[in-house]
Amino acid sequence: MLSFIARRLGLLIPTFFGVTLLTFALIRMIPGDPVEVMMGERRVDPVMHAQAMERLGLNKPLYAQYLDYIGNLAQGDLGESLRTRTSVWDEFLTLFPATLELSLAALLFAGSLGLVAGVVAALKRGSMFDHGVMGISLAGYSMPIFWWGLLLIMFFSVWLGWTPVSGRIDLLYDIPPVTGFMLIDSLLSGEEGAFVDALRHLILPAIVLGTIPLAVIARMTRSAMLEVLGEDYVRTARAKGLSPARVVFIHGLRNALIPVLTVFGLQVGTLLAGAVLTETIFSWPGIGKWLIESIGARDYPVVQNGILLIACLVIMVNFVVDILYGLANPRIRHQR
Amino acid sequence: MTATTTSPALDQALLYPSPLKEFWQAFAHNKGAVAGLGFMLLIIFCALFAPWAAPHNPSEQFRDFLLTPPVWLEGGQAQFLLGTDELGRDLLSRLMHGARLSLLIGLSSVLMSLIPGILLGLTAGFFPRLLGPSIMRLMDVMLALPSLLLAVAIVAILGPGLINTVIAIAVVSLPSYVRLTRAAVMGELDRDYVTASRLAGAGLLRLMFVTVLPNCMAPLIVQATLSFSSAILDAAALGFLGLGVQPPTPEWGTMLASARDYIERAWWVVSLPGLTILLSVLAINLMGDGLRDALDPKLKNAV
């Protein structure tokens, strides 16, 4: 197992350097003069221009600039935002819990509903329910989620008035950030009604963000379950006279979960991309909205290292899923 | 059946069907795929003939008919079948012209990633020592970023607009073509017919493009269909974020973005562009399923 982990870690290092190379290159591919772009004005005074080039290290050869970049990263220096002058890392840390809370809620929604729908559809193969689940999941998979979010807002917030339109919590409540998770913080604050309010703010964005993962998980669970239910050990379990529930959940689902687990991991990328859209629609103060706003404001240090941080996050999650997959399925460990 | 027939060539049932007919039979077996094809033909018709078939000019503003509801609602006007938007522009005409853009973006980005993807994939498959792994590592790096985020990053650098949207989407879908081509090539390289061709003295280029590539096309065609639908989706998402095609060009995502402010008063301005996106993407995905079943039965159960 250890050698398996070490091998996977070894693959991680070139990928990480590749990503730094990518973010390094991105910022240098901006058309035009970098100093003028960053200062937002044309024809900067030549002396000031030279000073800025010196300060930003842009007068050095490219490889030296890249080494500087890596050196700064190694010291945990991700630069500072041009707009707020706070460090990119601090901004990321304050905003990330909001995205994490939203993503976890979305995964919970998608995972619980998707597993149940997939298992039932597989058990009732060919029934109306099965066709319904497959049809809905194909539609969910094709869904433009930014439109889906607008539709839900129109229906639940504007027409029915059940849920708030945007934000994480009503302005009436003053919640001190302790964990960064609004649900937990609102409970800790002890303010009456704050928790319910936070929950009402969370529901719609979580559904919107969870829609595509839900479709994928339901489809995957169904096909994995169908495969497992045809296996000999399931027939044996049935022949032994075990209760149907035990056969389905203990013998069937546990084995069907292995491929579903990988899909969960792959959905993290989908979630982070979806977070950009969902957070924009619901004014959710997370890293997706942060990134889009920084792009609009040409805040290049944030764009560059925000993308780097997100890429590292995806790489790390995929690594963990790989390891879990190796734990769940020993055959993987011994390949090659 | 007609086992007593002396001349089997006369019996159509005993003839091996032409590949095209066989393909069509397998494809038509999937009803969803046929429905998807039907809807796509409608969209293609709209796109091709938009300037003549659309009732109005997409950017003409009817100042007396701002936010007119669709014709079947109270206050609807027969001249604006699907109603008008906040500037009094005819929605149906805008959607029809939007179909041109979406199909154009989809088609050009698929071509722009399919061709380099096949070339890189073939190279990676034929040179498994040094070149192959380095190409694949590069693709891993690109896969580390969620596709929409990478597209957003590229557009952020290059600036918004039609051409940059196409470039961003093409770059984003490149890795899947490279991986798919390489995997298919690796599977074919050990086959006897490749060895035979090699022994017959076929050069590298002939081996690549004439011997091996045609046998790897099935999964690539399926992938091209699927990435066509995600290209439409990503282009609309970029447009919605204000990073894609710029208003007043009638692009479906851009139309949604400007409709956001009228969510309380005019549901049709918000619903109809999104519904068009959903149905087009769904239709292409259904077609992709049918194509996969018809061309590549091995993948039938894959998600």
- From first to last of its 303 residues, what are the pLDDT tens digits of chain B? 444 545 545 566 666 767 788 788 878 888 888 999 999 999 999 888 888 877 888 877 877 777 778 877 777 777 777 878 777 788 888 888 889 888 999 999 999 999 999 999 999 999 988 888 888 888 888 887 788 888 888 887 888 888 889 999 999 899 989 988 998 898 888 889 989 998 998 888 888 888 888 888 888 888 888 889 989 999 999 988 888 888 788 888 888 888 888 887 788 888 888 899 999 999 999 998 888 888 766 554 443
Question: What band does A170 get if pLDDT is binned at 50, 70 and 90?
Answer: confident
Three-state secondary-structure class, residue A162 = coil
Contacts 24+ apart (CB under 8 A), B215-220: B215/B184, B215/B188, B216/B181, B216/B184, B216/B185, B216/B188, B218/B295, B218/B296, B219/B180, B219/B184, B219/B296, B219/B299, B220/B114, B220/B118, B220/B177, B220/B180, B220/B181, B220/B184
pLDDT at B2: 47
* Residue of A42, A87, A77 whose CA lies nearest to A57: A77
CATH code reported for the domain at B23-302:
1.10.3720.10
Amino acid at B75: G
Within 8 A of A301 by CB-CB distance, chain B residues are none
User: Is any Cβ of chain A less than 8 angstroms from the Cβ of B301?
Assistant: yes
CB contact under 8 A, A147 and B274: yes
Distance (Å, whole) CA B41 – CA B225: 14
pLDDT at A105: 92
Interface test with chain A among B30, B134, B140, by most A beta carbons within 10 Å: B140
Averaged pLDDT score across all residues of chain A: 83
Closest to B301 (Cβ–Cβ): which among A223, A296, A314?
A: A223
| pTM of the model as a whole | 0.84
Q: Are the C-beta atoms of A116 and A216 separated by less than 8 Å?
A: no
Domain boundaries, chain B: 23-302
**How close A291 gets to chain B, by Cα (Å)?**
9
Within 8 A of B267 by CB-CB distance, chain A residues are 154
Closest residue of chain A to B271, computed from CA coordinates: A151
Task: Tell me: ipTM over 0.90.
Answer: no
Within 8 A of A158 by CB-CB distance, chain B residues are 263-264
Contacts of A102 (CB under 8 A, 6+ apart): A202, A205, A206, A209, A275, A278, A279, A284, A286
Does the structure show a pLDDT above 90 at A14?
no
Q: Are the C-beta atoms of B53 and B100 separated by less than 8 Å?
A: no
Distance (Å, whole) CA A270 – CA B286: 21
- CA quadruple A189, A194, A196, A199: dihedral sign: negative
CB contact under 8 A, B159 and A150: no
**How close B57 gets to chain A, by Cα (Å)?**
25
Quote the distance between the C-alpha of residue A287 and its chain's center.
10
CB contact under 8 A, B274 and A150: yes
Does the structure show a pLDDT above 80 at A54?
no
Question: Using the 8-state DSSP alphabet, how is residue B261 labeled?
Answer: G
A15-29, A93-107, B112-126: range with lowest mean pLDDT: A15-29
Interface test with chain A among B40, B145, B172, B252, by most A beta carbons within 10 Å: B145
Quote the distance between the C-alpha of residue B8 and its chain's center.
43
Closest residue of chain B to A218, computed from CA coordinates: B303
* Residue of A125, A104, A134 whose CA lies nearest to A215: A134
Contacts of A152 (CB under 8 A, 6+ apart): A204, A207, A208
User: Is any Cβ of chain A less than 8 angstroms from the Cβ of B207?
Assistant: no
pLDDT at B115: 93
CB contact under 8 A, B260 and A150: yes
Interface of A with B in 213-272 (CB under 8 A): 216, 219-220, 223, 227, 263, 269-270, 272
* Residue of A223, A321, A219, A329 whose CA lies nearest to A12: A321
Closest to A277 (Cβ–Cβ): which among B142, B237, B277?
A: B237
